[in-house]
Amino acid sequence: MRRLPLAVAAGLLLLTGCGTERVVNTSDSAASPGARASTAPDYAKLAEEARAKHDKRFPDVAARCVDVAPSPSPTATGGTEPENPETSRYRENHAFKQTAPLGPEQQCRGDAHADRITDALRETGGSGPSDEQTVRAVLEKLGYPAEETQVYGSGHALGFSLSVPGAPCVSGGVGPPLSVEAHGAYMEGGCVEPRGGH
């Protein structure tokens, strides 16, 4: 019986050493304590790279929005009146349909994309194209990646949503009436309005 506790103790002693690793660095650059390479992404740099890539792909949009100031910080508002509980429940149940807010620069870029798409769709005649293939062709001709574009419906219920790399989402209905608008991503992700709820 004495062997079992001794074996368990020996096993635990061996396991306490597992998962630890001593790194010996012989270079002088890591000689200072706490000097470690960061693996966290630089989001500001990634955003700047995405903007530069966008501006190269869509120079007309970049030129239109070059003087737009960045988003101001949100300000605190005063107190609000108590809310009706039914209104609160409704808002909670439909939160999945909310979109992320757009700052002035993102709104400008989105509106510029919406305008160029609207103009191109109108050029197809009448209130816009009447089939998915034509909508896809128009969007691809404008430079929007097919993998970021969703076209759905048929006839007068034809619509599309696309994620413009380095810019907000753009969605529209081909009509009639033809309508195209920029918006932030939906809270549950993506540019297509979620269906359903709970």
Q: How confident is the model at residue 70 (pLDDT cuts 50, 70, 90)?
A: low
Amino acid at position 180, single letter? V
What was the pLDDT predicted at 4? Answer: 55
97: alpha, beta or left? (left if phi > 0; alpha if psi -120 to 50): alpha
Residue 130 pLDDT greater than 80, yes or no: no
By the 8 A CB rule, do 117 and 172 touch? yes
Q: What is the mean pLDDT of the chain?
A: 77
Q: What pLDDT was estimated at residue 77? A: 47
- Mean pLDDT along residues 45-68: 89
d(CA 165, CA 32): 41
pTM of this structure: 0.68
Residues 29 and 34: their CA atoms lie apart, in Å, by 11
**Helix-helix angle 132-141:104-122, to 10 degrees:** 120
Which range scores top for mean pLDDT: 11-15, 60-64, 86-90?
Answer: 60-64
Q: Which pLDDT tens digit goes with each residue over 75-121?
A: 444 445 666 777 777 767 667 778 889 999 999 999 999 999 999 99
pLDDT band for position 141 (cuts 50, 70, 90): very high
In the chain, % of residues over pLDDT 70: 67
The mean per-residue pLDDT over the stretch 166-188 comes to 89
Identify the band that residue 143 occupies on the pLDDT scale cut at 50, 70 and 90. very high
Q: What is the mean pLDDT of residues 48-69?
A: 89
Beta-bridge partners for 181: 171
SS3 67: coil
Q: Rounded to whole angstroms, how far apart are CA atoms 35 and 113? A: 45
Q: Per-residue pLDDT for 73 more than 90? A: no
